[in-house]
């Protein structure tokens, strides 16, 4: 009885499983433009590029951080039982001094080579003195002190030459990297477009493989019928059947390639891997565009490299300025207040009755390692390196633009020729098929024609894809695939 119940439950669950509806895969319609938009909006590689370039903000921010406001505060308590009068031979253990010391300072370096500091200090004393002293000092006293300190570089880092050079170099390097981000995004779009065409070509190859297999099935039926009537040549049927098996193998291989290409495209665009792709394509071959000449100096790669050259010049200026000894003018202005009560000391402080002024020079010089000269040599070499790269890129970018245009023109001519070739191959198949049915041609000629027709169809689809890819590569070489005014912003 138990076994019967178990079998019944299993059968019921199987029936429900068979009746459960299977969700249809989501259909995604893709065109070349849609692929470019999705790649920029949500592609994994786009996210990686944006995140990588956001990380490049740190060196510039670290350079600017050297000119931040610096607030320093310290407070503490000190108990001193070693207080002893100079005229006393013994130390009264009852003597003690309690000190409360609080200090605030606010510093701000400027790119003019100036360091400004504001200081506030309060020292409070609570003392127990020897009762035998003839004159008892006040038990409680407060000392307030406030001042402004200005320090100006006048030799090394003369009025901030090195500071401004360092900041400008960091800023130019950051701007140069920001310009190149658009180029990296263009490469992402180009790769997505290539994957789009790879998937489309794989789909069309698969369709052509199926169509070729169907043609060979018809040929096998025709040969079998002629063989049964005694009209075929010896070996015609096995030969046709062998070619049919070849087409079966081709269908399996192209199916695998198509599925792999679709999966790669879905992954690149961050789409649901279970989605079904529908390609939105035009059968028309677009004409070769005529574009105006593009100035090489206006291209992003050149503008970025020019900023790097300027950054190297700024770093060289900074290193030359820092090679001199440090000689700074220092000026200090303080005011002091003293009283038994904190209110009295503060009132005296703000009254400015006890000013204290100081003007002087501060000199420092590092020697021994000769690192200053080595730093100058390094920055000179770096400047020469960046200038050499600029000269090379001026030629390479122009060559790249010319080659991209030439490649697009060649791809257009190949696609036109492939379209004509496809038509000729189809006409040959039609004529030879009719001739073979009439017994006027050998089956080998028909098989060769069928294979050539299949190859021509595949070559035409590939040529069209290569032409579209070449057009996009040409646009990318001109910085027109992602124009400057439409650069993708950081994903937020």
Residues 152 and 172 in one domain: no
Please give the structure tokens belonging to residue 187. 């490469």
Where do we find the tokens 């060979």? 216
- Considering its fold, how many domains does the chain have in total? 2
Q: Are the beta carbons of 390 and 305 closer than 8 angstroms?
A: yes
Phi-psi region of 125 (alpha: psi -120 to 50; beta: other; left: phi over 0): beta
Task: Print the domain residue range for 85.
Answer: 69-109+114-156+326-364
Whether 369 is in a domain gets the answer: no
Residues 48 and 183 in one domain: yes
Alpha-carbon gap, residue 257 to 271, rounded angstroms: 19
Neighbours of 334 (CB within 10 A): 17
Q: Are the beta carbons of 58 and 79 closer than 8 angstroms?
A: no
Alpha-carbon gap, residue 346 to 340, rounded angstroms: 11
Alpha-carbon gap, residue 281 to 390, rounded angstroms: 41
pLDDT in the model for residue 491: 39
Alpha-carbon gap, residue 478 to 293, rounded angstroms: 9
Q: Are the beta carbons of 164 and 310 closer than 8 angstroms?
A: no
Alpha-carbon gap, residue 181 to 56, rounded angstroms: 11
402 Cβ contact partners less than 8 Å away, ≥ 6 residues apart = none
468 Cβ contact partners less than 8 Å away, ≥ 6 residues apart = 32, 193, 197
Residues 80 and 191 in one domain: no
pLDDT in the model for residue 14: 45
Alpha-carbon gap, residue 145 to 107, rounded angstroms: 17
Whether 175 is in a domain gets the answer: yes
433 Cβ contact partners less than 8 Å away, ≥ 6 residues apart = 446
Whether 17 is in a domain gets the answer: no
Residues 208 and 304 in one domain: yes
Residues 184 and 298 in one domain: yes
CATH code for the domain in which residue 235 is found: 1.20.1600.10
Residues 52 and 130 in one domain: no
Residues 223 and 306 in one domain: yes
Alpha-carbon gap, residue 434 to 440, rounded angstroms: 9
Whether 11 is in a domain gets the answer: no
Q: What are phi and psi of 72, to 5 degrees?
A: -125, 130
Q: Are the beta carbons of 385 and 437 closer than 8 angstroms?
A: no
Residues 454 and 334 in one domain: no
Please give the structure tokens belonging to residue 342. 């904190």
Q: What is the pTM of this model?
A: 0.80
DSSP helix/strand/coil, 14: helix
Neighbours of 276 (CB within 10 A): 13
Whether 28 is in a domain gets the answer: no
**Is 243 exposed, middle or buried, given 0-12, 13-18 or 19+ CB atoms closer than 10 A?**
buried
Whether 421 is in a domain gets the answer: yes
Residues 292 and 345 in one domain: no
CA 290, chain centre distance (Å):
32
Alpha-carbon gap, residue 106 to 94, rounded angstroms: 39
Whether 184 is in a domain gets the answer: yes
Per-residue confidence in pLDDT tens, the chain, 492 aa: 434 433 343 444 444 344 445 556 788 999 999 999 999 999 999 999 999 999 999 999 999 999 999 999 999 988 877 655 444 444 455 567 888 999 999 999 999 999 999 999 999 888 776 555 556 667 788 889 999 999 999 998 999 999 999 999 999 999 999 999 999 999 999 999 999 999 999 999 999 899 989 988 988 988 888 888 777 778 888 988 998 999 899 999 999 999 999 999 999 999 999 899 999 887 678 889 888 888 999 999 999 999 999 999 999 999 999 999 999 999 999 999 888 887 878 888 888 788 899 999 999 988 888 888 999 999 999 999 999 999 999 999 999 999 999 999 999 999 999 999 999 999 998 999 888 877 788 888 888 898 999 999 999 999 999 999 999 999 999 999 988 754 444 433
Residues 355 and 384 in one domain: no
Whether 489 is in a domain gets the answer: no
Q: Are the beta carbons of 301 and 183 closer than 8 angstroms?
A: yes
Interior angle at CA 179, CA 177 and CA 183, nearest 5: 100
Residues 210 and 285 in one domain: yes
Residues 174 and 279 in one domain: yes
Q: Are the beta carbons of 197 and 468 closer than 8 angstroms?
A: yes
Q: Are the beta carbons of 330 and 359 closer than 8 angstroms?
A: yes
Q: What are phi and psi of 391, to 5 degrees?
A: -60, -40
Q: Are the beta carbons of 149 and 105 closer than 8 angstroms?
A: no
Alpha-carbon gap, residue 313 to 386, rounded angstroms: 10
pLDDT in the model for residue 83: 54
What is the 8-class DSSP label of residue 86?
A: T
């Amino acid at each position: 009885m138990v076994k019967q119940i178990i079998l019944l439950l299993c059968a019921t669950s199987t029936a429900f499983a068979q009746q459960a509806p299977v969700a249809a895969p989501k259909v995604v319609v893709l065109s070349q433009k849609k692929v470019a938009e999705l790649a920029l909006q949500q592609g994994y590689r786009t996210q990686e590029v944006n995140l990588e370039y956001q990380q490049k903000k740190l060196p510039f921010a670290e350079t600017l951080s050297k000119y931040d406001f610096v607030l320093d505060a310290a407070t503490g308590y000190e108990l001193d039982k070693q207080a002893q009068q100079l005229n006393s031979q013994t130390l009264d253990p009852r003597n003690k001094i309690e000190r409360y010391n609080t200090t605030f300072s606010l510093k701000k370096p400027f790119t003019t080579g100036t360091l400004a500091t504001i200081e506030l200090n309060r020292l409070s004393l609570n003392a127990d003195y020897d009762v035998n002293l003839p004159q008892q000092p006040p038990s409680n006293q407060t000392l307030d002190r406030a001042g402004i300190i200005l320090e100006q570089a006048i030799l090394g880092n003369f009025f901030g030459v090195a500071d401004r050079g360092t900041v400008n170099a960091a800023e130019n390097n950051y701007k140069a990297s920001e310009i190149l981000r658009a180029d990296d995004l263009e490469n992402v779009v180009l790769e997505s477009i290539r994957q789009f065409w790879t998937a489309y070509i794989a789909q069309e190859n698969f369709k052509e493989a199926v169509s070729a297999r169907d043609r060979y099935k018809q040929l096998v039926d025709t040969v079998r019928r002629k063989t049964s009537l005694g009209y075929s040549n010896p070996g015609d049927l096995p030969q046709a059947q062998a070619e049919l098996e070849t087409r079966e193998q081709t269908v399996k291989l192209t199916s695998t390639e198509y599925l792999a290409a679709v999966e790669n495209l879905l992954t690149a665009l961050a789409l649901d891997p279970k989605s079904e792709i529908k390609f939105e394509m035009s059968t028309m071959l677009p004409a070769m565009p005529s574009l105006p000449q593009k100035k090489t100096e206006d291209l992003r790669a050149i503008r970025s490299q020019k900023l790097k050259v300027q950054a190297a010049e700024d770093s060289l200026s900074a290193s030359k300025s820092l090679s001199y000894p440090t000689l700074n003018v220092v000026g200090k202005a303080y005011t002091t207040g003293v009283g038994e009560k904190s209110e009295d000391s503060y009132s005296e402080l703000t009254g400015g009755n006890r000013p204290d002024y100081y003007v002087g020079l501060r000199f420092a010089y590092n020697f021994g390692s000769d690192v200053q000269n080595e730093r100058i040599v390094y920055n000179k070499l770096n400047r020469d390196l960046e200038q050499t790269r600029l000269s090379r890129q001026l030629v390479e970018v122009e060559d790249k633009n010319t080659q991209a245009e030439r490649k697009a023109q060649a791809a257009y001519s190949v696609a036109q020729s492939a379209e004509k070739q496809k038509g000729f191959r189809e006409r040959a198949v039609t004529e030879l098929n009719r001739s073979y049915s009439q017994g006027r041609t050998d089956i080998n000629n028909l098989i060769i024609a069928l294979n050539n027709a299949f190859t021509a169809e595949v070559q035409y689809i590939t040529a069209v894809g290569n032409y579209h890819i070449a057009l996009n590569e040409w646009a990318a070489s001109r910085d027109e695939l992602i124009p400057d005014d439409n650069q993708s912003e950081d994903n937020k």
